[in-house]
Amino acid sequence: MTYGFAVDRVLKGAVSADASVRSVVSGASCGLEGMREGEIYTVFARTQDGALHSGLCSGTHAGGSDPTISAFAGALLPVQPGGPPLWVVLAGVASGALVAALIWRLRAWRRAFTTP
């Protein structure tokens, strides 16, 4: 399904004043649903095969842009073509650091009880 939007503001990238955005039909598949003509929407879209694509799971929502959502979507969750999103990498690094700290603490605690 293709939706047409009159673009008011662009947070990132370049988009024409009248943009067409493609989406799957079903909300169960993260497709845009319940869209009404004349309503204001904040659309988070990506370019794929030369066309804009979006869905409910991308952060698209009714109403104007919320600065908090905009900041998180643009700064902390950038699209990484061919790789995992940045938040997955950061979660992995944080988990690894936590495990390393726990192992170090466990060894120190063990040494304290095993040395005379």
- Residue 30, token pair as written in the block: 């993260």
Mean pLDDT of 59-68: 71
**Chain segment 36-50, per-residue pLDDT in tens:** 888 888 888 888 888
Q: Is 46 helix (H, G, I), strand (E, B) or coil?
A: strand
6 - beta bridge partners? 18
Q: 3, 23 in Cβ contact below 8 A?
A: yes
Mean pLDDT of 64-86: 55
Specify the higher pLDDT residue, 21 or 111: 21
* 5-14, 71-80, 84-93, 103-112: range with lowest mean pLDDT: 71-80
What CA–CA distance (Å, rounded) separates 82 from 102? 33
Residue entry with tokens 């409910």: 56
**Chain segment 2-60, per-residue pLDDT in tens:** 888 888 777 777 777 888 898 988 877 888 888 888 888 888 888 888 888 888 888 78
40 phi and psi angles, rounded to 5 deg: -95, 135
The structural domains of the chain, with segments of one domain joined by +, span 1-78, 80-116
Specify the higher pLDDT residue, 73 or 113: 113
Count of beta carbons in the 10 Å neighbourhood of residue 91:
12
Q: What is the pLDDT of residue 86?
A: 67
Q: What is the pLDDT of residue 67?
A: 58
Helices (H), 1-116: 67-71, 86-114
